[in-house]
Amino acid sequence: MRNDMDMRALWKGQPAPVADLDAMRRRIRRFALRRIGEACAVIVLMMAAIAAGVLIWTCWPPRLMLTRVGIVLACAGFMLPVWSYGRALRLYYGLKPDCSNRDYMDRLLKIKREEYRQRHAVLNLYFLLLSLGFALYSYEYAFSRSFCFGVTACSILLLWIALNWFVFRPRLLKRRSRSFSDFMKCVERCRNQLSE
Protein backbone atom coordinates (compact mmCIF):
# COMPACT_ATOMS: atom_id res chain seq x y z
CA MET A 1 0.00 0.00 0.00
CA ARG A 2 1.43 3.32 -1.08
CA ASN A 3 1.17 6.36 1.15
CA ASP A 4 0.74 9.52 -0.99
CA MET A 5 0.66 12.18 1.68
CA ASP A 6 1.85 15.63 0.67
CA MET A 7 3.94 16.75 3.63
CA ARG A 8 4.31 20.28 2.32
CA ALA A 9 0.53 20.76 2.11
CA LEU A 10 0.10 19.34 5.61
CA TRP A 11 2.80 21.64 6.96
CA LYS A 12 1.23 24.73 5.35
CA GLY A 13 -2.18 23.70 6.64
CA GLN A 14 -1.11 23.89 10.27
CA PRO A 15 -2.24 26.99 12.12
CA ALA A 16 0.60 29.41 12.83
CA PRO A 17 1.11 30.37 16.47
CA VAL A 18 -0.44 33.75 17.07
CA ALA A 19 1.45 36.25 19.18
CA ASP A 20 -0.30 37.00 22.44
CA LEU A 21 -0.04 40.77 22.11
CA ASP A 22 -1.88 41.52 25.33
CA ALA A 23 0.56 39.42 27.35
CA MET A 24 3.44 41.06 25.49
CA ARG A 25 2.11 44.53 26.25
CA ARG A 26 1.72 43.65 29.93
CA ARG A 27 5.31 42.43 30.03
CA ILE A 28 6.50 45.56 28.25
CA ARG A 29 4.51 47.71 30.69
CA ARG A 30 6.10 45.98 33.70
CA PHE A 31 9.53 46.42 32.16
CA ALA A 32 8.84 50.08 31.36
CA LEU A 33 7.58 50.78 34.89
CA ARG A 34 10.68 49.17 36.37
CA ARG A 35 12.92 51.29 34.10
CA ILE A 36 10.93 54.45 34.90
CA GLY A 37 11.37 53.83 38.63
CA GLU A 38 15.07 53.18 38.14
CA ALA A 39 15.43 56.33 36.04
CA CYS A 40 13.65 58.48 38.63
CA ALA A 41 15.86 57.11 41.42
CA VAL A 42 19.03 57.73 39.41
CA ILE A 43 17.94 61.27 38.51
CA VAL A 44 17.19 62.11 42.16
CA LEU A 45 20.52 60.67 43.34
CA MET A 46 22.50 62.48 40.66
CA MET A 47 20.79 65.79 41.41
CA ALA A 48 21.61 65.28 45.10
CA ALA A 49 25.25 64.64 44.17
CA ILE A 50 25.33 67.83 42.07
CA ALA A 51 23.82 69.75 44.99
CA ALA A 52 26.52 68.30 47.27
CA GLY A 53 29.20 69.49 44.83
CA VAL A 54 27.74 73.00 44.78
CA LEU A 55 27.48 72.95 48.59
CA ILE A 56 31.13 71.92 48.90
CA TRP A 57 32.17 74.70 46.51
CA THR A 58 30.22 77.36 48.42
CA CYS A 59 30.84 76.28 52.02
CA TRP A 60 34.49 75.27 51.64
CA PRO A 61 35.78 77.22 48.64
CA PRO A 62 38.78 75.50 47.07
CA ARG A 63 42.04 77.40 46.77
CA LEU A 64 43.41 75.68 43.68
CA MET A 65 41.94 75.92 40.21
CA LEU A 66 42.46 72.15 39.80
CA THR A 67 40.04 71.50 42.63
CA ARG A 68 37.39 73.70 41.00
CA VAL A 69 37.89 71.94 37.67
CA GLY A 70 37.53 68.63 39.49
CA ILE A 71 34.19 69.70 41.00
CA VAL A 72 32.96 70.90 37.60
CA LEU A 73 34.01 67.61 35.93
CA ALA A 74 32.34 65.55 38.66
CA CYS A 75 29.13 67.61 38.36
CA ALA A 76 29.24 67.20 34.56
CA GLY A 77 29.66 63.46 35.10
CA PHE A 78 26.63 63.45 37.40
CA MET A 79 24.66 65.48 34.85
CA LEU A 80 25.16 62.89 32.07
CA PRO A 81 22.86 60.24 33.60
CA VAL A 82 20.26 62.92 34.36
CA TRP A 83 20.23 63.93 30.70
CA SER A 84 20.30 60.36 29.40
CA TYR A 85 17.63 59.02 31.75
CA GLY A 86 15.50 62.06 30.98
CA ARG A 87 15.56 61.12 27.30
CA ALA A 88 14.74 57.51 28.17
CA LEU A 89 11.84 58.63 30.37
CA ARG A 90 10.29 60.52 27.46
CA LEU A 91 10.53 57.38 25.33
CA TYR A 92 9.02 55.14 28.01
CA TYR A 93 6.18 57.58 28.62
CA GLY A 94 5.61 57.61 24.85
CA LEU A 95 4.56 53.94 24.93
CA LYS A 96 0.81 54.39 24.72
CA PRO A 97 -1.30 51.23 25.03
CA ASP A 98 -3.84 52.50 22.50
CA CYS A 99 -1.42 52.99 19.56
CA SER A 100 -1.12 50.52 16.69
CA ASN A 101 1.07 47.44 17.02
CA ARG A 102 3.51 48.64 14.35
CA ASP A 103 3.89 52.07 16.03
CA TYR A 104 4.31 50.35 19.40
CA MET A 105 7.10 48.17 18.04
CA ASP A 106 8.81 51.15 16.39
CA ARG A 107 8.82 52.99 19.71
CA LEU A 108 10.29 49.93 21.38
CA LEU A 109 13.09 49.89 18.82
CA LYS A 110 13.80 53.57 19.58
CA ILE A 111 14.04 52.61 23.25
CA LYS A 112 16.43 49.83 22.27
CA ARG A 113 18.73 52.30 20.47
CA GLU A 114 18.58 54.73 23.42
CA GLU A 115 19.40 51.95 25.90
CA TYR A 116 22.35 50.85 23.78
CA ARG A 117 23.68 54.43 23.60
CA GLN A 118 23.12 54.83 27.32
CA ARG A 119 24.89 51.59 28.14
CA HIS A 120 27.98 52.27 26.08
CA ALA A 121 28.66 55.93 25.38
CA VAL A 122 27.03 57.59 28.39
CA LEU A 123 28.24 55.08 30.98
CA ASN A 124 31.84 55.18 29.74
CA LEU A 125 31.84 58.98 29.65
CA TYR A 126 30.24 59.06 33.11
CA PHE A 127 32.99 56.91 34.62
CA LEU A 128 35.68 58.91 32.82
CA LEU A 129 34.41 62.29 34.01
CA LEU A 130 33.93 61.04 37.56
CA SER A 131 37.41 59.53 37.68
CA LEU A 132 39.04 62.72 36.41
CA GLY A 133 36.85 64.92 38.60
CA PHE A 134 37.58 63.04 41.80
CA ALA A 135 41.29 62.81 40.99
CA LEU A 136 41.58 66.56 40.42
CA TYR A 137 39.35 67.38 43.39
CA SER A 138 41.31 65.26 45.84
CA TYR A 139 44.71 66.65 44.82
CA GLU A 140 44.45 69.82 46.94
CA TYR A 141 43.18 68.06 50.05
CA ALA A 142 45.47 65.06 49.75
CA PHE A 143 48.74 66.98 49.55
CA SER A 144 47.79 69.85 51.89
CA ARG A 145 48.71 67.75 54.91
CA SER A 146 51.79 65.55 54.74
CA PHE A 147 53.46 63.78 51.85
CA CYS A 148 52.75 60.35 53.37
CA PHE A 149 49.06 61.20 53.78
CA GLY A 150 48.93 62.46 50.19
CA VAL A 151 50.45 59.29 48.78
CA THR A 152 48.11 57.13 50.86
CA ALA A 153 45.06 59.15 49.81
CA CYS A 154 46.07 59.07 46.13
CA SER A 155 46.69 55.32 46.32
CA ILE A 156 43.25 54.74 47.80
CA LEU A 157 41.69 56.98 45.16
CA LEU A 158 43.50 55.18 42.34
CA LEU A 159 42.39 51.84 43.78
CA TRP A 160 38.80 53.10 43.88
CA ILE A 161 39.01 54.35 40.28
CA ALA A 162 40.47 50.99 39.17
CA LEU A 163 37.66 49.13 40.98
CA ASN A 164 35.10 51.32 39.23
CA TRP A 165 36.62 50.82 35.78
CA PHE A 166 37.51 47.15 35.95
CA VAL A 167 34.96 45.63 38.35
CA PHE A 168 31.82 47.72 38.80
CA ARG A 169 31.48 49.15 35.26
CA PRO A 170 31.74 45.75 33.45
CA ARG A 171 29.29 44.17 35.89
CA LEU A 172 26.84 47.02 35.45
CA LEU A 173 27.15 46.82 31.67
CA LYS A 174 26.68 43.06 31.66
CA ARG A 175 23.68 43.11 33.98
CA ARG A 176 21.86 45.86 32.08
CA SER A 177 22.73 44.29 28.74
CA ARG A 178 21.51 40.83 29.76
CA SER A 179 18.16 41.97 31.12
CA PHE A 180 17.48 44.23 28.17
CA SER A 181 18.60 41.73 25.52
CA ASP A 182 16.32 39.02 26.94
CA PHE A 183 13.45 41.47 26.83
CA MET A 184 14.24 42.64 23.30
CA LYS A 185 14.46 39.05 21.98
CA CYS A 186 10.88 38.56 23.03
CA VAL A 187 9.89 41.88 21.40
CA GLU A 188 11.69 40.96 18.16
CA ARG A 189 9.87 37.62 18.03
CA CYS A 190 6.58 39.43 18.40
CA ARG A 191 7.57 41.98 15.74
CA ASN A 192 8.50 39.22 13.31
CA GLN A 193 5.17 37.48 13.87
CA LEU A 194 3.35 40.74 13.23
CA SER A 195 5.21 41.34 9.96
CA GLU A 196 4.35 37.87 8.59
- Per-residue pLDDT of 56-98, as tens digits, reads 899 989 888 999 999 999 999 999 999 998 988 888 888 777 7
- For residues 49 and 91, which has the higher predicted lDDT (pLDDT)? 49
Q: What is the dihedral of CA 157, 162, 164, 166, to 10 degrees?
A: -170
At 4 the pLDDT is 54
At 45 the pLDDT is 95
User: Mean of the pLDDT values across residues 126-151?
Assistant: 86
Could you tell me what percent of the chain has a pLDDT over 90?
25
Angle at 100 between CA 98 and CA 103, to 5 degrees: 115
Report which of 112, 96, 102 is spatially closest to residue 196, judged by C-alpha positions: 102
Residues with Cβ within 8 Å of 27's Cβ and at least 6 positions away in sequence, in order, are 183, 186
Q: Which long-range contacts (CB under 8 A, 24 or more apart) does 158-161 make?
A: 160/134, 161/131, 161/134, 161/135
Q: Is the pLDDT of residue 2 over 70?
A: no
- The reported pTM is 0.76
Report which of 5, 139, 1, 160 is spatially closest to residue 70, judged by C-alpha positions: 139
At 19 the pLDDT is 52
Q: What is the mean pLDDT of the chain?
A: 82
- For residues 144 and 64, which has the higher predicted lDDT (pLDDT)? 64
- For residues 11 and 37, which has the higher predicted lDDT (pLDDT)? 37
Q: Is the pLDDT of residue 41 over 90?
A: yes
At 80 the pLDDT is 93
